[in-house]
Amino acid sequence: MFTIFKGFYKGKSTSTVPLLEILSMAAETLWSNKLRTGLTMLGVIIGISSVIAITSVGQGVQKGVEQQIQALGTDVIQILAGAARSGNIRQGIGSSSTLTWEDAKAIATQAPSAEIVSAYLQRTAQVVYGGQNTSTTIYGTDLNYPEARNTHPQQGRYFTQEELNNATQVAVLGPTVQNTLFGQGVNPIGEKIRIQGEAYEVIGVMEAKGSQGPMDRDDQIFIPLTSMSGRLVGNNALAGISVNGILVKSSNQEQLEAAQFQATNLLRLRHNIYPPQADDFRLTNQADIVSTFTNVVGLFTVMVVAIAGISLVVGGIGIANIMLVSVVERTREIGIRKAVGATNSAILNQFLAEAIVISIVGGCIGMGSGILIAFSAANIFKFPFVVSLVSIIVGFGLSLSVGLVAGVIPARNAAKLDPIAALRSD
């Protein structure tokens, strides 16, 4: 059996003491001072659990947002209308009527890398059915919107080209609106709802998409763009139908930059924008959003993990302090051991073993606590539960390192005690 030192152990001088017996003796010594040992472990437990939990939550949030954005399509460019000004106050993006449905049609026909192009008009409105009512987002869209946004009806259908041309008053509900107005599981197809006093027939219900940050992407209603512009908004541009945004989807990720370049130049030509004039629209790339968010969450996670690591340092200091106190309290015991033949390495290893047991047990409890906290947070806040093997290995390595570093100085002090001086101590 592997041996770690020769020395005194329960009356056996100069006998070989195996590793298992050393650890058993260390555990017995620590168990006899349960309160002190528990308080010493607390710093390690808090530090390791914080590292595991924060890393897991950060990775889970990152994965969840990536999934949501990818569900909308990472090969999609969103073109937003410019911001209107009222005096010296600049309003939000999309508040100005700088984009039209005709711009979208031009991109669809003249930008080779644009596979699918869809224009939309967006407003918040009150919707009523029977005794129920809700405030929700109304989207006036063309027929390409479901493909551009990768979202399709799970019940019924989307509106047709004829209904779009005739500004027919039909509506496709998001699942949240369906449940709010009609109740869970009730089929609303064929029913009439009122949007700002206008009656619309429900012809479909979209598939559930979940939330994206604070926005519930199921709390929406889709109607023909012509109906939206003519009946609900009424703010047509000087030429054509004004829209808030245009979605441009390329055939693949590689074509996205080409589509963005083509759409930008085409809109500048249509809007008579020449350098150094500023664009009256803004383009956002879904892939860039994913990349930016990943970088931000990654940096934030590293920062918080670094802060959590401070508690590990505090835990290590706590272990060192307790071990130093233990050396003082057990000076006479150390003197007896050395008097009957225990070597300096035997005493050194025994105190190191106690420090390592404290840190490893505290680390294991901390890892379990961290995983439990991360799992609870994932269930409460509805994001994927992710625990990487790397964070487990790092957590265990940190706990072992804390024990080694914190135990070295007290163990060396114990090993260097003069046996005669130790026996004379009270």
Distance between CA 357 and CA 40 in Å, rounded? 11
Q: Of residues 287 and 90, which shows the higher confidence score?
A: 287
Contact 115, 249 (CB under 8 A): yes
Confidence category of residue 261, pLDDT binned at 50, 70, 90? very high
Q: List Cα–Cα distances, 324 to 4, 39, 216, 330, in angstroms.
A: 22, 15, 57, 10
Which residue has better confidence, 287 or 176?
176
Q: What are phi and psi of 110, to 5 degrees?
A: -115, -5
Q: What is the pLDDT of residue 71?
A: 64
Predicted TM-score (pTM) of the model is 0.63
pLDDT in tens, 154-165: 999 999 999 999
* Neighbour count for residue 121 (Cβ, 10 Å): 26
* DSSP3 helix / strand / coil % (the chain, rounded to 5): 55, 20, 25
Look up tokens 């009512």; give the residue: 133
What is the average per-residue pLDDT within 296-304? Answer: 78
Give the C-alpha separation, 361 to 23, whole Å: 12
Sequence-separated contacts (24+) of 266-275 with Cβ below 8 Å: 266/106, 266/107, 266/110, 266/111, 267/79, 267/99, 267/103, 267/107, 270/103, 270/106, 271/98
Distance in angstroms (rounded) separating the CA atoms of residues 281 and 94:
8
Task: Give the model's confidence band at 65: pLDDT under 50 very low, under 70 low, under 90 confident, else very high.
Answer: confident
Query: Distance (Å, rounded) from C-alpha 411 to C-alpha 409?
Result: 5
Per-residue pLDDT tens for 76-88? 899 998 754 444 4
The mean pLDDT of 318-339, rounded to a whole number, is: 80
The pairing of strands 198-206 and 153-156 is antiparallel
Mean pLDDT of all residues in 330-344? 81
According to DSSP, the β-strands at 89-90 and 85-86 are antiparallel
Q: What mean pLDDT comes out for the span 172-190?
A: 94
Distance CA 121, CA 112 (A): 24
Residue 96 confidence (pLDDT): 59
Could you tell me the pLDDT band of residue 2, with boundaries at 50, 70 and 90? very low
